[in-house]
Amino acid sequence: MADLIFASHNDNKSREIRQLLPDYQIASLKDLGFTEDIPETGNSLDVNAAIKAERIFKEYQKPVFADDTGLIVPALDGAPGVFSARYAGPEANAQANMAKLLRELEGEENRYAYFETVICYIDAQGEKHFFSGKVKGRILEQQQGEQGFGYDPVFCAEGESLSFAEMSPAAKNAISHRGRALEAFIRFLQPS
């Protein structure tokens, strides 16, 4: 059995997590053969992360972590936020979500945005721990780059000239919201 279960069906996230946690054996839900969809019914990132972690901990009784990520655009009253994955509707994909976001921001000068990731970790004793990471930036006028996933082609981090989708995975992970949340998680797992 793996050191840690990552409560996600998202292959892109699982790949990124494994790159960021090379010292751990990580089992995704796919690895475990768990195909059930876990509805994210919370109104905040931490609640959604906890819903996923609790469901998998109940099933396997092993240390598990789950994340939820939102793209927050203040000019859109915080949207897409907790609904980032399904911004363009329940069956939405990344292209539809980005298209809607770019439409909503047409003519908007304030393109400030930030990504936030919250990780909920449930340890072997069933105790919950939360870690978060943010990266500030802006929404580009159009998609740029072929790498990454989700909103990466339209997000440029503060102080950078490339979109997340134009960066190498290592460069993105070094500054990303998920990378920062995982740094805090790793510090908790491996106190010096």
48 in a known ligand binding site: no
| 172 assigned to a ligand binding site | yes
Residue-by-residue DSSP string for 53-82:
HHHHHHHH-S-EEEEEEEEE-GGGTT-EET
Distance CA(90)–CA(104), nearest Å, equals 18
Q: Tell whether 58 is in a known binding site.
A: no
DSSP E strand boundaries for 22-147: 26-28, 64-72, 80-81, 112-122, 128-139
Is 129 part of any known ligand binding site? no
Q: Is 6 marked as a binding-site residue? A: no
The yes-or-no answer on residue 67 being catalytic is no
Considering the candidates 23, 68, 77, 123, report the single residue annotated as catalytic: 68
Is 37 annotated in a binding site? The answer is no
- Alpha-carbon distance 61 to 122, whole Å? 10
Is 93 within any annotated ligand binding site? no
Q: Binding site for Mg(2+): which residues?
A: 68
Q: Binding site: which residues?
A: 8-13, 68-69, 149-152, 172, 177-178
Q: Binding site for substrate: which residues?
A: 8-13, 69, 149-152, 172, 177-178
Catalytic residues: 68
